[in-house]
Amino acid sequence: MSGAVTPPAETSAEVPETSADAPAEKSWPLWEVFVRGKRGLSHVHAGSLHAPDAALALRNARDVYTRRQEGVSLWVVRADDITASSPDEKDSFFDPAADKIYRHPTFYDVPDDVEYL
Amino acid sequence: MSGLVNSTNAPSESDEALPGAADNGPSGVSPLAPYLLGLADDVMVYAQRLSEWMTNAPQIEEDMALGNIALDLLGQARALYPYIGSIDGTGRGEDDFAMLRDERDWRNVHLVEQERGDFADEMARLLWFSAYQVELQTALTGSSDDVVAGVAGKALKEVRYHLDHASLWVVRLGDGTPESHRRMQAALERVLPHLAELFDDDEASLTAAGLGVGVLPSSLHDAVVARVSRVADEATLTLPDGSPWRSRGGRAGIHSRPLGYLLAEMQHIARSHPGATW
């Protein structure tokens, strides 16, 4: 946070006096929130929020996403740190899997007394 | 630091007859009621104050955080009021206590009724109040009264989180920019005169402590100051050494100006539409 008080010289020359008093609102960074509903389940993306740092992001997540006993564990990840597939690449990424039904484990007979399968 | 919030002077007004006391029947009146009413009114009034931050906090996430804390405190008050009504001989319910009492009947300390100020003011107040509450509720879990001990057990988990929330913010503001440091330091100084009341041993607390139900407020002082000092150190802030004046009278129903406005806002719907439900 150091150096936040002194704007670069060339900008301050161009910017009118009045706007120096009202700097453009700088928002906190965005964080993605993952909630584990109960032991044994995996964390699931619940939404996102703003927070100045990781510790406060975790607490904001607690306050925003677990108010109704939704979880027993929380992860927060900076949205900037997530590398996501692009909607433009959707066809080349995902369509080639469409006609390869032999990859699904559907060609086995599952015994009746096997749970969770 | 021991003289920071001097607790030797209990307000003399506490000997006055309570305005509502004449209505109480002579039989079945527990001597604990005045003490518990002080505890309940502290959290009820602070819940109302904190709820003002909804839509006024720096970010919507902080609206939620302070709103959640307010709801925790409201829950603590709601657990206590019906119990007080059952032991003070009046049979009053939670709405009677919250919505139908006038200013002179409230027993909260001045700290919680003060106007909310800026965000640093609120974090300074929340830091002190939740540090006090952590010590108070820890002690009350050992109460000889099952209801009081039960409420304290639940409240303790909540107020630990409140203390954590306030501590994180005080550290970030104190150890942040020059302006945030200056304003956080100023807030610590502004809140100081209202702290001594928390640690006054008035007649109600002496009675309750004597019965093993309550705890002497003065016995919490050192531990509370130690908690706040640790946070202030980490935040590169200096706890002010003392204040030239201190508030008093809250536990006896003598309040500062902001409480009347707070009660008017909080109570006007319930009083304009008596008995309304939805």
pLDDT tens per residue across span B79-128: 999 999 999 999 999 999 999 999 999 999 999 999 999 999 999 999 99
Q: Which of B54, B59, B61 to mutate to probe the A interface, most A CBs <10 Å?
A: B61
* Domain B29-240+247-272 annotated CATH 1.20.1260.10: yes
The model's confidence at residue A23, banded by pLDDT at 50, 70 and 90, is low
Q: How many domains in chain A?
A: 1
Residue contact A60–B61, C-beta within 8 A: yes
Q: Within a domain: residue A56?
A: yes
State CA A113 to chain mean position distance. 39
Greatest alpha-carbon span in chain A = 78
Question: pTM for the complete prediction?
Answer: 0.81
Instruction: Indicate the residue of B60, B61, B177 with minimum beta-carbon distance to A4.
Output: B177
The percentage of residues in chain A with a pLDDT greater than 70, rounded to a whole number, is 78
The CATH number that applies at residue A62 is: 3.10.20.520
Q: Do B176 and A1 touch (CB under 8 A)?
A: yes
Tell me the pLDDT tens digit for each residue of A10-22.
444 444 444 445 5
Q: B201-233 pLDDT, tens per residue?
A: 999 999 999 999 999 999 999 999 999 999 999
Query: Which residues span the domain enclosing A37?
Result: 27-82
The residue behind tokens 């050192």 is B222
- Tell me, yes or no, whether A51 lies in a domain: yes
Residues of chain A contacting B168 with CB distance shorter than 8 Å: 55-56, 59
- What average pLDDT does chain B have? 91
H-assigned helices in chain B: 33-51, 60-87, 94-99, 110-113, 119-140, 146-174, 178-191, 203-210, 221-234, 257-272
Are B181 and B173 in contact by the 8 Å Cβ rule? The answer is yes
Does A2 map to a domain? Answer: no
The alpha-carbon gap from B253 to the nearest alpha carbon of chain A, in Å, equals 34
**Does the pLDDT value for residue B185 go beyond 90?**
yes
Whole-number average pLDDT of chain A: 80
Size of interface A-B (CB pairs under 8 A): 33
- Determine contact: B268 vs chain A, CB below 8 A: no
